[in-house]
């Protein structure tokens, strides 16, 4: 990864800085003597566009509902209400936001771990063994990557309502366990990241297939696993359509459906409901932070995992 060059690097005399990237293991870039100010400036404009709504959201979360309407959106209001807002968000209506947050964590964690475990097992199985029906089965699964999840949601709802699973946490978790794209990613990854000779050596040592998988293979599949984990985590965390149709009981809501129901109450609401607007804004901000933190902390993994999936097809 390119290192940030510091110092008075206005002109083209910044050659010495690029040596800082010498220890980077991924790959060395040819030394580029000049940095472009124009390009950096243009990208800054793009960055402003992408961060502007979040900047607004952060500012808005420090305001009470009155200030939201009466003061300018891109700067602080008369009162600094951030902590009041946070407190009220978590306690409003018997603490239902706290409950939604917990629900979301559980749904996302269970789905993500389950989906990436299934995809890792199966991806390794498809990549490393020959067995009867391998080609057609793999083709069948990969062919469904293009089946959109929302086209599947209503059919799943119809089936689950027959099975009595509607309006339970299982209605959210079970459909999230199957990720054809996750399988694709792990299949590609297992083909490349596990070397034949390692497997053979382990077999000669008399290790069982499962033992080989857990002791030898799993470690080299870790970046792929984390990639699938993160992306299923995001998919479940952000899921809206499925929980919206599956759940009636607000105590099962994930944060997306909960925020949506609050915003529906806040829109055009007078009296007590108008105050909800500040809570929708603060709740939105709070719901975004965990995922951003997860992505920043785990970026080393998902970036290398992604490059495997993006290049080979």
Asked if residue 20 binds another protein (CB under 8 A), the reply is: no
| Full 3-state SS string of 257-297 | HHHHHHHHHHCCCCHHHHHHHHHHHHHHHHHHHHHHHHHHH
- Contact at 8 Å (CB) between 313 and 189? no
The site map against another protein for 238-277 (x = CB under 8 A) is x-xx--xx---------xxx-xx--xx--x----------
State yes or no: residue 45 binds another protein (CB under 8 A). Answer: no
Part in contact with another protein (CB under 8 A); list of ranges 79-87, 89-97, 301-309: 301-309
Among 86-94, 95-103, 134-142, which window interacts with another protein (CB under 8 A)? 134-142
99 versus 259: smaller Cβ distance to another protein: 259
In a 3-state reduction of DSSP, which class is residue 113?
helix
* Closer residue to another protein in complex, CB, 98/307: 307
93 vs 134, which CB is nearer to another protein? 134
Query: Quick check: 120 and 186 in contact, CB under 8 A?
Result: yes
- Of residues 12, 73, 87, 139, which one binds another protein by CB under 8 A? 73
d(CA 225, CA 232): 11
Q: How far apart are CA 181 and CA 240, in angstroms?
A: 19
Min dist. Cβ of residue 92 to another protein (A): 17
Residues 6+ apart with CB under 8 A from 110: 173
| Span interacting with another protein, options 43-51, 84-92, 95-103, rule CB under 8 A | 43-51
Subset of 170-209 contacting another protein (CB under 8 A): 174-175, 177-178, 180, 183, 192-201, 203-204, 209
Q: Applying CB under 8 A, which of residues 12, 13, 15, 32 lies at the interface with another protein? A: 32
- Regarding 229 and contact with another protein (CB under 8 A), the answer is no
Name the token pair of 308. Answer: 């495997």
The burial class, CB within 10 Å (0-12 / 13-18 / 19+), for 282 is buried
Distance in angstroms (rounded) separating the CA atoms of residues 103 and 87: 19
Binding another protein by CB under 8 A: which of 8, 136, 155, 164? Answer: 155
84 vs 191, beta carbon nearer another protein: 191
Q: Which pair of tokens denotes residue 41?
A: 């400036």
Long-range contacts of 248-252 (CB under 8 A, 24+ apart): 248/167, 249/167, 250/96, 251/96, 251/99, 252/103, 252/167, 252/168, 252/169
Between 42 and 93, name the residue whose CB sits nearer to another protein: 42
- Identify which of residues 54 and 95 has a Cβ nearer to another protein in the complex: 54
Q: How far apart are CA 229 and CA 9, in angstroms?
A: 40
Among the listed residues 49, 136, 164, 270, the single contact to another protein using CB under 8 A:
49
Min dist CB 91 to another protein, Å, is 21
Minimum Å distance from CB 55 to another protein? 10
């Amino acid at each position: 990864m390119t290192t940030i060059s510091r110092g008075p690097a206005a002109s083209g005399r910044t050659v010495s800085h690029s040596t800082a990237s010498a220890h980077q293991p991924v790959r060395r870039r040819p030394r580029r003597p000049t940095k472009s100010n124009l390009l950096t400036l243009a990208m800054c404009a793009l960055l402003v566009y992408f961060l502007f709504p979040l900047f607004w959201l952060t500012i808005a979360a420090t305001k009470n509902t009155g200030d939201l309407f009466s003061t300018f959106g891109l700067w602080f209001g008369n009162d600094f209400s951030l902590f009041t807002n946070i407190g009220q968000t978590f306690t409003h209506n018997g603490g239902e936001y706290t409950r939604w947050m917990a629900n979301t964590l559980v749904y996302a964690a269970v789905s993500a771990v389950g989906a990436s475990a299934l995809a890792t097992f199966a991806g390794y199985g498809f990549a490393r063994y020959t067995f009867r029906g391998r080609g057609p089965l793999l083709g069948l699964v990969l062919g469904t990557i293009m089946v959109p999840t929302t086209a599947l949601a209503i059919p799943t709802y119809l089936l689950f309502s027959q099975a009595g699973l509607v309006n339970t946490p299982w209605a959210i978790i079970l459909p999230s366990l199957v990720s054809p794209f996750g399988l694709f990613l792990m299949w590609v990854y297992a083909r490349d990241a596990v070397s034949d000779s390692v497997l053979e050596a382990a077999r000669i040592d008399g290790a069982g297939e499962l033992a080989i998988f857990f002791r030898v293979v799993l470690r080299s599949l870790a970046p792929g696993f984390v990639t699938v984990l993160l992306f299923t985590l995001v998919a479940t965390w952000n899921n809206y359509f499925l929980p919206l149709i599956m759940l009636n009981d607000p105590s099962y809501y994930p944060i997306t459906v909960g925020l949506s129901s609050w915003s529906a109450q806040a829109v055009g609401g007078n009296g007590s409901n108008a105050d909800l607007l500040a809570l929708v804004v603060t709740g939105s901000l709070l719901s975004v932070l965990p995922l951003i933190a997860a992505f920043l902390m785990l970026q080393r993994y998902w970036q290398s995992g992604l490059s495997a999936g993006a290049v080979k097809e």
